[in-house]
Amino acid sequence: MEKTYKADCGRYDRMEYARCGNSGLLLPRISLGFWHNFGESDDGDAGRNMVFSAFDRGITYFDLANNYGPPPGSAEICLGRILHDHLKPYRDELIIATKAGHAMWPGPYGDWGSRKSLMASIDQSLRRMRLDYVDIFYSHRYDPQTPLEETMTTLADIVRKGKALYVGLSKYPADKLKEAVEWLRKMQVPVVVHQVRYSLFVRDPETELLELHRSLGLGTVSFSPLAGGLLSGKYLSGIPARSRAASDSPFLTPETVRNKQGQINALHEVAFSRGQTLSQMAIAWQLRDDRVCSVLCGASSADQIQENIGALSNMRFTSSELNRISEILG
């Protein structure tokens, strides 16, 4: 591995950027998530290669959370090392996001959305990533036990203290999302984005959230666009040994793969006829809708990132392709 990393000078020619809601912030249409594969199991090279490969292709948004790893915290440590050793000169070209709200440390203060928990968490995250500030700080999930006013006031204070530039929300139910945005706007806090799980297999946001985001002026960042890898070439003929489904992940079980096998193979045929891989079609299918600002993909190799970015070269779907996809999904 070379000592000094120099970013590819063509990096911005290879990516498209979209305005995040009504804000001034531009996000790449494809972003990189650090949920899996950047933890302690990584020997250092794999994570670094993925980060370099993403940035060299114009991916400027890296999405983290306090608990990403495994173990929790290790993804932030991994990125912190890469930032410190290689990406310092590029800090102003990067959007680095983290989140708090899922279980992170033992006891009553390491989880959910209290002021105590969020204030401690942002400081821990900044230390792990060796940063002075993050670009986006997310409330990772709605906390029904903490007054919304307390969580939102804390997010506002985090911005006012200069620890985050923008606020994001993640997985909020529609009614709470509206209330939260009202609180934040009243305090003149730049809340710009809501993260939702969205893919060909999980289409719930279509019923209400995508339109709600638009009316609230929030950007939609969709996560798990490949349903954890199901919507890639990975499972076309079973479960490979090195895969999320083979790793005892509660988020993608062998049973889910078996249940979806017929649909995956049929979708692959549609993708093939479009001259795309399945993962490229799954990403393009979302990006054809301009209500989706950025699609947040995970990866376990630089090759996967490169393949997924290929989605940008064909984001149009004919009505017969869309009909066939609907038929397959039933």
Ligand X SMILES: NC(=O)c1ccc[n+]([C@@H]2O[C@H](COP(=O)([O-])OP(=O)(O)OC[C@H]3O[C@@H](n4cnc5c(N)ncnc54)[C@H](OP(=O)(O)O)[C@@H]3O)[C@@H](O)[C@H]2O)c1
* Binding site residues, ligand X, CB under 6 A: 33-37, 63, 140, 170-171, 195, 223-229, 232-234, 243-244, 279, 296-300, 304, 307-308
**Whose Cβ is closer to ligand X: residue 163's or residue 268's?**
268
Q: Which pairs count as long-range contacts for 303-307, CB under 8 Å and 24+ apart, including other chains? A: 304/232, 304/279, 305/32, 305/50, 305/53, 305/54, 305/57, 305/59, 306/53, 306/57, 307/277, 307/279, 307/280
Q: How far is the CB of 89 from ligand X (least distance, A)?
A: 24
**Whose Cβ is closer to ligand X: residue 101's or residue 161's?**
101
Q: How far is the CB of 247 from ligand X (least distance, A)?
A: 7
DSSP annotation of 158: H
Contacts of 313 (CB under 8 A, 6+ apart): none
Question: Which neighbouring-strand residues pair with 221?
Answer: 195, 294
Q: Report whether the peptide linkage leading into residue 71 is cis, meaning its omega lies within 30 degrees of zero.
A: yes
Q: How far is the CB of 16 from ligand X (least distance, A)?
A: 18
**Whose Cβ is closer to ligand X: residue 53's or residue 243's?**
243
DSSP annotation of 166: E
What beta strand segments (E) does the chain contain? 17-19, 26-28, 30-33, 61-63, 95-100, 134-139, 164-170, 191-197, 219-223, 292-297
Q: How far is the CB of 217 from ligand X (least distance, A)?
A: 20
Q: How far is the CB of 319 from ligand X (least distance, A)?
A: 26
**Cα(258)–Cα(224) distance, rounded to whole angstroms?**
19
What beta strand segments (E) does 153-291 contain? 164-170, 191-197, 219-223
**Whose Cβ is closer to ligand X: residue 89's or residue 173's?**
173
User: 95 φ, ψ to 5°?
Assistant: -110, 115
Q: How far is the CB of 284 from ligand X (least distance, A)?
A: 13
**Whose Cβ is closer to ligand X: residue 60's or residue 300's?**
300
DSSP annotation of 218: P
**Whose Cβ is closer to ligand X: residue 218's or residue 319's?**
218
**Whose Cβ is closer to ligand X: residue 113's or residue 298's?**
298
Q: How far is the CB of 207 from ligand X (least distance, A)?
A: 19
Residue the block writes with tokens 């209500």: 291
